[in-house]
Amino acid sequence: MELYYKMKDLEGKGFSQRQISKKLRVGRNTVSSYLGMSSKQFIEYIHSLETRPKKLDPYREHILGWLREHPDLTGAQVHDWLIERMELKGVTQATVRSYVKDIRERYGIPKVKNQRVYAAVPEFQPGHQAQVDFGQLKVLTVDGKERKLYCIVFILSHSRFKYAEWLDRPFRTVDMIRAHENAFHYFGGMPEEMVYDQDAILAVSENAGDLILTSEFARYREHCSFIVHLCRRSDPESKGRVEQAVKYVKNNFAKNRLFEDLAAWNESTLRWLARTGNHNVHHNTKKRPAEVHALEKPHLRKIPSEFPLGNLTDTSITRTIHKDNVIRFSGNRYSVPAGTFGAMERMSPTSKRRREPS
């Protein structure tokens, strides 16, 4: 009613429907429809909306239960759950968002917002670049226990076509190389350049530590002949696309989902990518990543012969941990978690040297 009277007031002041639409940020069709009704007709229209059956009414109790159990659910995630769990078809994400908003208002279920703003980044030519980043998330298992999972996410910068996989422990070099192989096959080719988070690579306390700078990964990069670009952590100008993708995977797919086993979790991730992650229209490009990827795929480079992963499992190095919780390698200093030196001092003399994961 407030919106209706604002429109009537602006119309009385001589504003055109186009100006009213722009000023109130309302669609032109809505403005035309509202202004074409008298006050009595509009009140009757509002009452009809309250009693008119909606497409999602058969799912109301399910949606209400989800929102009460997980108040931080987004409309987009509810839409994905309806497709996955209820086999919903023919209902747009906008319709679900509107329905979820109505339920929140009716039943007093406010949503906690935690939105991060990213700066605009330049576009890239098809096949030029992919970005890579890690994520961590605590989830509940089917038996009510808490489990920490680790994910690696790849995104083609041009099409926004994504790939993700999970482990129940931090990634090691061999895991990261295997994930690259899986991602390249999922993409149907390789880009010219790969972008990584420099801080996450260099800090031993994050993502199992020194991954990119290991000799094993250097051999893999040479095998594939792609360019490596390292950027600073949380740098939206360099890798904002993959930071958003990691957030999307964690919040739309993983959040509030029960964990049964790793294989089933990764299979569900692939189904989610096909159903939602690469299917829904991207909010920046206004296109479906899967459709743009079909055009980008011919521009990707051919995947080289399979890299011998079996040779990596036995490769390891040892480094002495100094009193300032630092190890030295190839003239560089790398921090380890605070207190590591003290913990090592309490161990036997033969165990004081840090054994690096392969």
Q: Tens digit of pLDDT per residue, the chain (358 long)?
A: 888 889 999 999 999 999 999 888 888 888 998 899 888 888 887 777 666 678 898 998 999 999 988 888 899 999 999 999 989 888 888 889 888 988 888 788 887 665 554 445 556 799 999 999 999 999 999 999 999 999 999 999 999 999 999 999 988 888 889 999 999 999 999 999 998 876 444 333 334 444 556 777 888 888 999 988 877 555 555 567 888 999 999 999 999 999 999 999 999 999 999 999 999 998 888 999 999 999 999 999 999 988 887 665 544 455 666 767 776 665 666 666 665 555 444 444 444 444 444 4
Give the distance from CA 205 to its chain's centroid.
22
Look at residue 21 and give its three-state secondary structure: helix
Look at residue 154 and give its three-state secondary structure: strand
- pTM assigned to the model: 0.62
Q: What are the extents of the domains in the chain?
A: 2-51, 57-107, 129-308, 316-355
Residue 18, classified by CB atoms within 10 Å of its CB into exposed (0-12), middle (13-18) or buried (19+), is exposed
First to last CA, the chain: 65
Look at residue 163 and give its three-state secondary structure: strand
Q: What pLDDT is attached to residue 82?
A: 93
Render the burial of 326-347: b for 16+ CB within 10 Å, e for the rest. Answer: bbeeeeeebebeeebbeebeee
Q: Which CATH number fits domain 129-308: 3.40.50.970, 3.40.50.720, 3.30.420.10, 2.60.120.10?
A: 3.30.420.10
Q: What pLDDT is attached to residue 344?
A: 46
Sign, CA dihedral 276-185-180-261, equals positive
Q: What pLDDT is attached to residue 218?
A: 81
**Helix segments in 163-213, DSSP class H:** 173-187, 198-202
Residue 199, classified by CB atoms within 10 Å of its CB into exposed (0-12), middle (13-18) or buried (19+), is middle
Q: What pLDDT is attached to residue 211?
A: 52
Q: What pLDDT is attached to residue 306?
A: 84
**Regarding beta strands 129-140 and 193-197, do their DSSP bridges make them parallel or antiparallel, or are they unpaired?**
parallel
Q: What pLDDT is attached to residue 337?
A: 62
Q: What pLDDT is attached to residue 274?
A: 96
In this structure, are residues 148 and 138 in contact, taking their beta carbons and an 8 Å threshold? Answer: yes
- Which run of H or E residues covers position 252? none
Q: What pLDDT is attached to residue 355?
A: 42
Look at residue 52 and give its three-state secondary structure: coil
In the structure encoding, which two tokens stand for residue 253, read together?
């797919």
In this structure, are residues 353 and 320 in contact, taking their beta carbons and an 8 Å threshold? Answer: yes
